[in-house]
Amino acid sequence: MSIEEMNDGLVGRGNREGAALFREWFAELHETAHRGGPAAYVFVMGSMNEILKTFDLPVVFPEISSLQTAVRHSAHELLEVAEDHGYSPDICGYVKADVAVQIRGGKHPMGDLPRPALSVLTNACNTYIKWAEIWERMYGTPMVTIDIPGTREGGGQTWSGNGDFEADRRYVEVQIRELIGTCEEVTGTRFDIDRFRETLGHANTMTRSWKRLLELNAARPSVFNALTDGTVYLGVANGFRGTEAGARYFERLVEEMEYKVANGIGQSIEEKYRLIFVGVPCYPIFRRFNELFTDWGGTFVSSTYLWFASGGFNRGFEYDLDDPIASMAEGSLISVRDGMDSMFHQDRVAMDMIEELGVDGVVYHPIKSCRTVSTGLADGRRHLTEQTGISSLFIESDMMDRRVVSEAQMKNRIDAFFEGLASRRKPALAGREG
């Protein structure tokens, strides 16, 4: 088989299959909505999908369905509906888009969404709690909080065997057992521990693959765009977490990326500057936003988004199938905590990425909608600059609200950033030549 023929089959397969899985997922939700079947509303940081899939519950990730409205250019209408309902322009756009979808009876650009039979949330983002309270009031459905204590102080994580860690783990385990009880009530189905082991096994395959995927992008040239391709991978990682389809997808994705690394096949542009992205993408102009960087030969080789929005999959925690519930508690604690660390202590994450991935610049994108991610970015950037002297760009906009996205201003800043990168590189090159 020629390289061209292999390329035809392999290169780009992850994006094609990811898109197909997305369509399947939303078709299932549409069908559930019309059948009146139960569905769980969950969030990307600590979805507990391993448990929900054990009960065959379809899952709605409102963060993902909301961002889809921005990518599909219908978010602004939904934001207006929610604001007419009393919600402030200054709160999370994901919440408002979802509220509007609920007010409209679940009508969504990708199909109808079912109502929640229960919602499951962690405290990884406080807005999760406020958001679920809205559904609780709208529908009177159970709201289950899984409170996962995070790192208390930068660099101060504790691990298995430490008394403080064990106290946190016990707390999470009690809550997971309570969630199982609620799922039994909602679905009328007894918890099947062997089925649970199966979902954990699939999740293990996925997290192993996810970790490998991130490592593979250390290649030069990098093999996937952490911003655009990464968003597709994130969708599958969340929606299909703990499923056979998800596990298969990621094994095949790793195969594709390993092939690209082996054959020196990079992203679709010539890689001149290797960048990392810190924050949440600008979905209202998603494609254009990326082009503002790729036009200069800038490629995103990683992002904190791939860490926290995967619920800490990057950590690579694999469940012990012999002790599944206790292990799920430990894994949730470690992974979700890691997700939180990559937001609150992003400077540490960025420092590691710079070293491991050979990064030329850091792009910070704080957004109006998400204070969890954005509040510490300016300070983190100051700290990172002091520690490493690396070039960085700080641009503010939003992930949903096009009213605060100014493409022209953004372009000016991005152009200036690349001009700076280029001028920094010139003396270095001149030095080498001399």
Partner 1 sequence: MTPPAPSTTTDRVFPEWRGKSLDDALLECRDQVESADFQTVARWREAGGLVAGHFQVAFPEEIVHAAGMLPFKVRGAPVEPNLADSHFGSYLCSILKTSLELALSGRVPMEMFISHPICDAARNLAAIWGRNFDHPCQILYLPQNPNSAGSIDYLRHEYDRLRRLAEEVSGREITDEALVNSIVVFNENRRLLRELYEIKREQPWLIAAEDAYALVALAGMMPREEHNELLSTLLPRIRERDARPEDRIRVVFEGGFCEQPPFDLIRMLGRTVYLVDDDLLIGLRWLTGDVPLEGDPLRNLAWAYIERSSYSPVQHDLRKPKERMLLERIEGAGADAAILAAAKMCEPGLEEQVTYTHALDEAGIAYFMSEFEENMTSFSQLEMQVETFVENLLFA
Footprint on this chain of partner 1 (rule: CB under 8 A): 85-88, 90-92, 95, 123, 125-127, 129-130, 133-134, 137, 143, 145-147, 149-154, 156, 163-164, 167-168, 170-171, 173-175, 178, 343-345, 347, 366-368, 370-372, 374-380, 382-383, 394, 396
Terminal-to-terminal C-alpha distance of the chain: 46
Q: Are 271 and 299 in contact (CB under 8 A)?
A: yes
Q: Which residues contact 365 (CB under 8 A, 6 or more apart)?
A: 277, 278, 279, 280, 281, 282, 395, 396, 397
Least distance between partner 1 and beta carbon 78 (Å): 16
Name the residue nearer to partner 1 (CB basis): 33 or 179.
179
d(CA 371, CA 348): 19
Q: Are 278 and 253 in contact (CB under 8 A)?
A: no
Which of helix, strand or coil describes residue 339? helix
Count the alpha carbons within 13 Å of 212 in the hemisphere toward its beta carbon. Answer: 16
Name the residue nearer to partner 1 (CB basis): 260 or 365.
365
d(CA 128, CA 371): 12
Which strands form 298-303's sheet, in the order they lie side by side? Answer: 298-303, 273-279, 361-365, 391-394
- CA 25 distance to own-chain centroid: 17
Structure tokens at 313: 């999959």
By the 10 Å C-beta count (0-12 exposed, 13-18 middle, 19+ buried), 145 is classed as middle
Name the residue nearer to partner 1 (CB basis): 8 or 379.
379
Least distance between partner 1 and beta carbon 105 (Å): 19
- Cα dist. 380→105, 314, 344 in Å? 41, 21, 9
Name the residue nearer to partner 1 (CB basis): 156 or 188.
156
Name the residue nearer to partner 1 (CB basis): 348 or 424.
348
- Cα dist. 71→11, 68, 223 in Å? 24, 5, 23
Name the residue nearer to partner 1 (CB basis): 216 or 414.
414
Structure tokens at 167: 């106290």
Least distance between partner 1 and beta carbon 360 (Å): 23
Least distance between partner 1 and beta carbon 10 (Å): 40
Exposed e or buried b for every residue in 94-128, given b needs 16+ CB within 10 A? Answer: bbbbbbbbbeeebebebbbbbbbbbbbbbbbbebb
Token pair 């002297």 is found at: 389
d(CA 84, CA 93): 14
Name the residue nearer to partner 1 (CB basis): 349 or 421.
349
Name the residue nearer to partner 1 (CB basis): 139 or 394.
394
Least distance between partner 1 and beta carbon 173 (Å): 8
Least distance between partner 1 and beta carbon 229 (Å): 27
Angle at 23 between CA 21 and CA 25, to 5 degrees: 70
Q: Strand locations in 98-176, DSSP E?
A: 118-122, 143-146
Least distance between partner 1 and beta carbon 97 (Å): 14
Least distance between partner 1 and beta carbon 215 (Å): 26
Name the residue nearer to partner 1 (CB basis): 173 or 360.
173
Name the residue nearer to partner 1 (CB basis): 269 or 404.
404
Least distance between partner 1 and beta carbon 61 (Å): 18
Least distance between partner 1 and beta carbon 151 (Å): 8
By the 10 Å C-beta count (0-12 exposed, 13-18 middle, 19+ buried), 291 is classed as middle
What is the helix (H) or strand (E) element at residue 330, kind and residue range? Answer: helix 324-344
Least distance between partner 1 and beta carbon 7 (Å): 42
Name the residue nearer to partner 1 (CB basis): 110 or 134.
134
